[in-house]
């Protein structure tokens, strides 16, 4: 991945938006478009999205990890069954299903262990697969066709999972999330000499890149911001339908999309953040929650992980009292990690990635009565991915 580079001066760039907090930048419009129109992007690049990940695959897919998690569930269910407290329907939710390989591994192993141990839990299992991308969901559905009668697929927004999953409240024994939080919008805040600042950003093209793109697609540098806005609003297919002269086919519109993404840079500036108490991390999560983190660590710059915070807080109410949320992702668990390495935003093949502020996520969980722990992903040596587990406090 590459860094979203910061611009040198306004005169050297064609601004695509006004100054704003990072979580509201149009880079997230590009990110959303990537997942909505992933099939067209993959056709144009000739490779699947997982090939853009470090190592060419997600860390989440591992048979031993699946077996360990399933056996934990069996222990919980056995205990509830012995007390006649086990529901008839056993719900498992996966958010961010990718191409379905993880689900297939998990379900195959679940069925094998269930048959081997004579539990008969498989017949009661409801495995819900949720993803923002219809294209990804369709791939995943085909990959788990052998378990079709136990599967439901749902298009959902990870920022607002309860809009789709309100029926699941207090029912999920496992919520499994992999490489989703690092792909959600975030602000950044800075502390310098005891003063707090918010990082505002502005997406832009360099003048030379703007001229190159404009010449290629029969437009002008001045018109590019409006053309990019239309791309993000309509998507490549509708953009082609509405502007056949510039984009005679959806493929031509995808070419414009890819050229724009490749050229995209971020300018940034610091603006005073006067009161943490008035800063909103996410719905019902006030900025005062960050005060102990920010004030205890001297000068620093850190992610707020607004999208991850919103998703995490909205997902916790879906858990059964004995349920767990397990998440594999890029987490910062020591704020000093922000001082010794770049944690994003980074450009992957069409999408944006930032490390997630695990310290803040843990504070949100604690405020809601959940214990949150982090540990190294046990089945891939040297992986940056950590496993976060959240469960209701005893």
Q: Domain of 205?
A: 2-53+198-267
Structure tokens at 305: 């992980």
Q: At what angle do helices 224-242 and 27-36 cross, to 10 degrees?
A: 20
Which CA distances in Å does 41 have to 37, 101, 115, 251? Answer: 7, 20, 41, 9
Q: Which is nearest to 322 in space by CA: 82, 68, 80?
A: 80
217, 256 Cβ separation under 8 angstroms? yes
Residue 8's φ and ψ, nearest 5 degrees, are -85, -45
Tell me what pLDDT residue 9 has.
Answer: 41
Q: Are residues 40 and 65 in the same domain?
A: no
Tell me what pLDDT residue 50 has.
Answer: 67
Residue 246, CB-side half-sphere exposure with 13 Å CA sphere: 26
Tell me if 302 is assigned to some domain.
Answer: yes
Q: Which is nearest to 76 in space by CA: 123, 127, 132, 119?
A: 119
Tell me what pLDDT residue 98 has.
Answer: 84
Q: Are residues 61 and 34 in the same domain?
A: no
Residues 6 or more apart whose CB falls under 8 angstroms from that of 254 comprise 37, 40, 41, 43, 44, 236
Last residue of a domain, one of 214, 247, 267: 267
Structure tokens at 261: 């993404």
What average pLDDT values come out for the chain (394 residues) when binned by 10 residues? 50 93 98 94 84 52 88 98 98 93 95 96 98 91 96 94 95 96 98 95 98 97 98 98 97 98 97 93 96 90 98 98 97 94 91 97 98 87 87 93
329, 182 Cβ separation under 8 angstroms? yes
Tell me if 280 is assigned to some domain.
Answer: no
Tell me if 374 is assigned to some domain.
Answer: yes
Rounded distance, CA 260 to CA 217, Å? 11
Q: Are residues 27 and 61 in the same domain?
A: no
Tell me what pLDDT residue 58 has.
Answer: 52
377, 59 Cβ separation under 8 angstroms? yes
Rounded distance, CA 291 to CA 193, Å? 15
Rounded distance, CA 269 to CA 193, Å? 17
């Amino acid at each position: 991945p590459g860094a979203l580079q910061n611009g040198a001066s306004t005169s050297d760039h064609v601004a695509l938006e006004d100054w704003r907090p990072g979580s509201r930048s149009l880079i997230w419009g590009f990110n959303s478009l990537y997942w909505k129109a992933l099939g067209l992007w993959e056709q144009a690049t000739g490779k699947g999205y997982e090939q853009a990940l470090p190592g060419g695959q997600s860390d989440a897919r591992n048979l031993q990890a699946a077996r360990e998690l399933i056996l934990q569930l069996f222990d919980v269910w056995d205990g509830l069954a012995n007390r006649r407290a086990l529901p008839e329907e056993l719900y498992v939710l996966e958010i961010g299903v990718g191409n379905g390989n993880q689900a297939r591994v998990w379900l195959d192993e679940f069925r094998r262990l269930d048959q081997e141990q004579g539990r008969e839990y498989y017949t009661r299992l409801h495995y819900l697969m949720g993803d923002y991308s219809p294209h990804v969901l369709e791939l995943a559905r085909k990959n788990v066709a052998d378990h079709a009668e136990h599967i439901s697929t749902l298009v959902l927004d990870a920022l607002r999972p309860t809009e789709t999953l309100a029926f699941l409240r207090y029912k999920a024994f496992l919520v499994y999330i992999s490489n989703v939080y690092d792909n959600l919008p975030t602000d950044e805040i800075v502390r310098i000499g005891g003063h707090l600042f918010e990082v505002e950003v502005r997406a832009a093209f360099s003048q030379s890149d703007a001229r190159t793109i404009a010449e290629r697609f029969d437009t002008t540098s001045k018109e590019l911001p409006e053309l990019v806005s239309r791309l993000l609003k309509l998507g490549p297919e509708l953009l082609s339908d509405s502007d056949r002269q510039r984009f005679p086919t959806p493929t031509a519109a995808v070419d414009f999309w890819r050229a724009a993404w490749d050229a995209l840079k971020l300018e940034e500036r610091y603006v005073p953040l006067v009161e943490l108490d008035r800063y909103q991390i996410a719905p019902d999560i006030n900025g005062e929650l960050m005060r102990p983190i920010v004030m205890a660590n001297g000068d620093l710059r850190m992610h707020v992980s607004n999208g991850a915070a919103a998703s995490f807080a909205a997902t916790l109410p879906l858990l059964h009292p004995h349920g767990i949320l397990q998440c594999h992702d890029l987490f910062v668990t020591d704020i000093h990690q922000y001082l010794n390495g770049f944690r994003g935003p980074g450009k992957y093949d069409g999408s944006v990635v930032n490390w997630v502020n695990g310290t803040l996520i843990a504070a949100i969980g604690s405020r809601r009565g959940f214990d949150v722990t982090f540990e190294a992903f046990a089945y891939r040596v040297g992986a940056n991915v950590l496993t976060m587990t959240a469960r209701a406090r005893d």
